[in-house]
Amino acid sequence: MDIPKIFNITESAHRIHDPFTPEKLATLGAALRLEPGIHVLDLGSGSGEMLCTWARDYGIIGTGIDMSQLFSDQAKRRAEELSVAGQVEFIHGDAAGYVAAEKVGVAACLGATWIGRGVVGTIELLAKSLRTGGIILIGEPYWLQLPPTEDVAKGCHAGSISDFLMLPELLASFGKLNYDVVEMVLADQNGWDRYEAAKWLTMRRWLEANPDDDFAKEVRAKLTSEPCRYAAYTREYLGWGVFALMAR
């Protein structure tokens, strides 16, 4: 079981697989006023940076589930490196339908809401693991400005304009589900640059190390086109943030 190989190639050197910088991740942890010992569940936990740094900085207990073998292994190594292996557990597996055996204080899904077939389904899924009064974290893109055409949306790697909302509409959508938005931390263009531009050097290095790999052609094409695509589309049109929700 694994995610498509292209992500394991392009994001192999990322610690954070979203447009947050380490500073934003720490800001989010501080904003949530996490009590030591609180249990955080993270669906699509990637390389485990959120759970590992929050275990170190805020004393949380963490469980992460991720379908990438590579990222799950990196998460375990990161936990050892930060001396928090006793506080965090990383499970390699499909998080779709995953419900924690014991209810948690924070249930998160950052940049992986397809796990619940979209934001609404992911909130429903996370709610099943959440104790009364707990916090749900959703990390999701929104339009900074509405794409003028469907082609521009596709340039942002969205399926269509309707895949994402503008920020006020996204916030309103949580209210319609009967959740209060109790905190939010938004990424900025610098964070997007870190997330996207870091892939370019990783691709270049991978190509040099794997010239005869079946994927070399695809990676070569991506490395050639990505900087301009990113600057013209994603960087101009797409925002990203983490929204903290509590049931009304």
Contact positions vs ligand SAH (CB under 6 A): 3, 16-18, 44-46, 49, 65-68, 71, 94-96, 110-112, 115
Q: Which residue is nearest to ligand SAH (CB)?
A: 46
Look at residue 194 and give its three-state secondary structure.
helix
Tell me the pairing of strands 61-66 and 179-186.
unpaired
Quick one: tokens of 236? 């101009």
DSSP classification of residue 114: G
Which residue has tokens 């995953």?
98
Which residue has tokens 């943030």?
241
CB of 193 to ligand SAH, least distance (A): 16
CB of 34 to ligand SAH, least distance (A): 17
C-alpha 62 chain-centroid distance: 16
**Cα angle for residues 143, 16, 201 (degrees, 5° grid):** 95
CB of 138 to ligand SAH, least distance (A): 11
113 vs 168 by CB, closer to ligand SAH: 113
* Alpha-carbon gap, residue 167 to 130, rounded angstroms: 25
18 vs 140 by CB, closer to ligand SAH: 18
CB of 143 to ligand SAH, least distance (A): 20
67 vs 184 by CB, closer to ligand SAH: 67
30 vs 146 by CB, closer to ligand SAH: 30
CB of 132 to ligand SAH, least distance (A): 25
Tell me the pairing of strands 88-92 and 61-66.
parallel
Report, in this order, helix, strand and coil percent for the chain, each rounded to 5: 45, 25, 30
110 vs 219 by CB, closer to ligand SAH: 110
